[in-house]
Amino acid sequence: MGGEVAEKKGGKGSFEPRIVAFCCNWCAYAGADLAGVSRIQYPATVRIIRVMCTGMVDESYILKAFEAGADGVLVAGCHPGDCHYISGNLKAEKEVEKTKKLLDLIGVGSERLRLEWVSASEGEKFARVVKEFTEQLREMGPSPLRPGSGRLERDGGEVVEARAPEAFRSFVNEVLSGEFMWRCLGCYLCHSTCPGGLRIAEIIRVARAQAPREQVDLMSAHGAVPLIWARMMANPAVKPNKLSWLKDVEVSNKGDIMFFVGCMPLFEVEFEDLALNSTQMVLNAIRILNKLGIRPAVSADERCCGHDLLWTGDFEDFERLAKLNVEAIKATGAKTVITACPECYRTLKVDYADLLGGLDFEVKHISEFLYEALQEGKLKFEKELARKVTYHDSCRLGRHMGIYEEPRAILKAIPGLELVEMERNREEAACCGMSAWLLCGEVSKRLQLERLKEARATGAEQLVVGCHKCKIHFTCVQNEKVPPGYEDVKDIKVVELTELVAEAMGLS
C-alpha cells in the first residue's frame, strides 16, 4: 500500500499509534489500494489485514489485536446495502458495538475501536479515516495494554517436551499437542470417588501450564474472549469500569462487608443473545443484603478473579490478578467478602490464600451468608412461591467447597416452594459440561442435555443453580436445536438461587 509510507510523527512527542485495520476485500481494502496507487498520503500507523468480509471479524480478533499491543482497531467494510455477502457488514456493525461495550467494561476504552464504511472508490475517505483515527489515538496516548505487554515477544511456542525426562518425551508430546489434557472439566468427580484422594484435576492444571499459550486459545470456546479479557485486566495499567451499571442499590466504597461482583457485567454483553441479564443476579444479591440492613462495599478496582486463567495454566497472569484484587479488597477495609459466583468463591478462598500464604479477610458464598441469616432469624420471606423446583450442585460450590445443604435449607424455607432431588445430587451431581471455557463440543452438549433431562424427570418447573456459568451453559443448549429424545429439556426454566430469594422477599 503506497499510502502507508507517507506521514511521519505528529506533534505529540515520539508516540506513534499502532492501528490494526480489518478491511473488507471488496470495498475497504480496494479503497486503501486506491489511496496507495493514487499517492494519497496517510500516516504509516496502520497495518491492514484483508478479510473476505467484515462479517468474519468477530470480537476475539479485535480483542487479540489489542492484547498484542494495538493502540486502536479499525474495522472497515462495505456501505450498508452494498455487502457482497448480503448482510456481512451489518453483522460486523453488531459485533463492533458488542466489543465496544466489553472494551469499556475491561478498561481499554471503546474509543479505541472504530467502524467505517469505505467503498472501493473512496481512497480519499480511507486516507482521511486513518489520519483522523491516528490523531485521535495520539491525543489519547498509548493503549494501557501496550507498555510491557510483551505478548508478541513472549516465547509461548517453545518445544516444551524438551523440559521433560527422556523417558516421558513421547507421552508429553502426545498430551501437550492434542486435546487430551484440555478435556478435563476440573469437576472433582474423580477426586470424590478416588480411594487415594488423588487430585487429578490439579495435576492436569499444572500440565496445562507447560503447553504453548497459543494452544489454549485454540482449545477455547467463544474465541477465548473471556480468557482474553482476564489477561487484559491482569495488566495494572488497565482500569476496569465494571460498575457503571450498578444502580438502584445501596453500596459504599468502604465497609466490613464487601460484595465481589465478578465478571457478570461482561457476561451480560458476551451472551446478550441469550438474554441472561447477568447483572440482575448481582443486583438481586445486593438488594437482599440491603434488606438485611447491610450496605456492602464494592470496588471499582475489582477485576476478574482469574479462575479461568488458573485452570488453563496461565499462572503468571493469575498471580497478577490475585495481587491486584487482594489490594482492591484491602482498600475497602472489608473483613468479609461475599460473592455469588462459586468460581470466584473457590478462587479467592482457596487459590488466593494458597498463593499469598493466607488472607486477612473471610470469604463466603452468598448461600453461606444467607443460611447464617436464616439460622439467626434475619432472613424472612414475604411471598409464597407455589412451584416445584430442583437444585443443581455446581462443581465448584459442591465438590470443591463442600457447600451442599445451605442452598437447600434456604429453598426449603421459602413458603410454598417444593424442593425435589435429581437422581444424581450432592457429591454425585453431574457437571454442567464446561469449565474455563474449554472445548464446548459434543461431549459438553451431551452432559448438559442429560442433566436437563434428569432435572425434567423430577417434575420440577424450575432448575435452581447457585452458579451463573451453569445457567449460561444450560440456557445455551436450551436455545439450540436439540437431538431427538431431548425435546422436553426446553420446558424447564433455569433460575438462580438469588433470583428466587429476592422474589420471595418481595424485592423483584
pLDDT at position 79 over 90: yes
Q: Is residue 148 part of a domain?
A: no
Phi, psi of 373 (to 5 degrees): -65, -35
Q: Place 502 in a pLDDT band, splitting at 50, 70 and 90.
A: very high
Residues 150-157: what's their mean pLDDT? 37
pLDDT at position 492 over 80: yes
Q: Is residue 462 part of a domain?
A: yes
Give the burial class of 63: count Cβ atoms within 10 A of its Cβ; 0-12 exposed, 13-18 middle, 19 or more buried.
Answer: buried
Residues 134-160: what's their mean pLDDT? 65
Residues 301-328: what's their mean pLDDT? 94
- Of the given ranges (147-161, 351-365, 413-427), which has the lowest mean pLDDT? 147-161
- Of the given ranges (110-114, 178-182, 314-318, 413-417), which has the lowest mean pLDDT? 178-182
Residues 173-181: what's their mean pLDDT? 58
Q: Give the end-to-end CA distance of the chain in Å, rounded to a whole number.
A: 58
Q: Domain range holding 133? A: 2-140
pLDDT at position 216 over 90: no
Residues in the chain: 508
Q: Is residue 153 part of a domain?
A: no
Beta bridge partners of 495: 464
Higher local confidence (pLDDT), 205 or 401: 401
User: What pLDDT is recorded for position 180?
Assistant: 66
Instruction: Specify whether the backbone of 366 is left (phi greater than 0), alpha (psi in -120 to 50) or beta.
Output: alpha
Higher local confidence (pLDDT), 201 or 490: 490
Q: Place 6 in a pLDDT band, splitting at 50, 70 and 90.
A: very low
User: What pLDDT is recorded for position 152?
Assistant: 35
Q: Is residue 87 part of a domain?
A: yes
Q: Place 255 in a pLDDT band, splitting at 50, 70 and 90.
A: very high
Residues 219-241: what's their mean pLDDT? 87
Q: Place 146 in a pLDDT band, splitting at 50, 70 and 90.
A: confident
131 lies in the same domain as 190: no
Q: Is residue 155 part of a domain?
A: no
Q: Is residue 227 part of a domain?
A: no
359 lies in the same domain as 465: no
Q: Is residue 230 part of a domain?
A: no
Mean pLDDT of the chain: 86
288 lies in the same domain as 334: yes
214 lies in the same domain as 332: no
108 lies in the same domain as 92: yes
280 lies in the same domain as 304: yes
Q: pLDDT by residue (tens digit) across 275-312?
A: 888 999 999 999 999 999 999 999 999 999 999 999 88
Question: Last residue of some domain: 373, 399, 422?
Answer: 373
E strands, 9-45, where? 19-24
CATH assignment at residue 82 = 3.40.50
Higher local confidence (pLDDT), 155 or 203: 203
268 lies in the same domain as 331: yes
421 lies in the same domain as 459: yes
Helices 366-375 and 405-413 meet at what angle, rounded to 10?
Answer: 50
pLDDT at position 158 over 50: no
What is the rounded CA–CA span in Å between residue 33 and residue 18? 19
Tell me which residue has cell 450498508: 80
pLDDT at position 8 over 60: no
How many structural domains comprise the chain? 4
What is the rounded CA–CA span in Å between residue 404 and residue 399? 9
pLDDT at position 169 over 50: no
What is the rounded CA–CA span in Å between residue 214 and residue 219? 9
Q: Is residue 190 part of a domain?
A: yes
Residues 9-31: what's their mean pLDDT? 81
282 lies in the same domain as 318: yes
207 lies in the same domain as 80: no
Task: Write down the number of H helices and E strands in the chain.
Answer: 20, 11
pTM, rounded to two decimals: 0.82
Q: Place 448 in a pLDDT band, splitting at 50, 70 and 90.
A: confident
Q: pLDDT by residue (tens digit) across 377-435?
A: 999 999 999 999 999 999 999 999 999 999 999 999 999 999 999 999 998 998 888 77
Q: pLDDT by residue (tens digit) across 57-67?
A: 989 899 999 99
200 lies in the same domain as 265: no
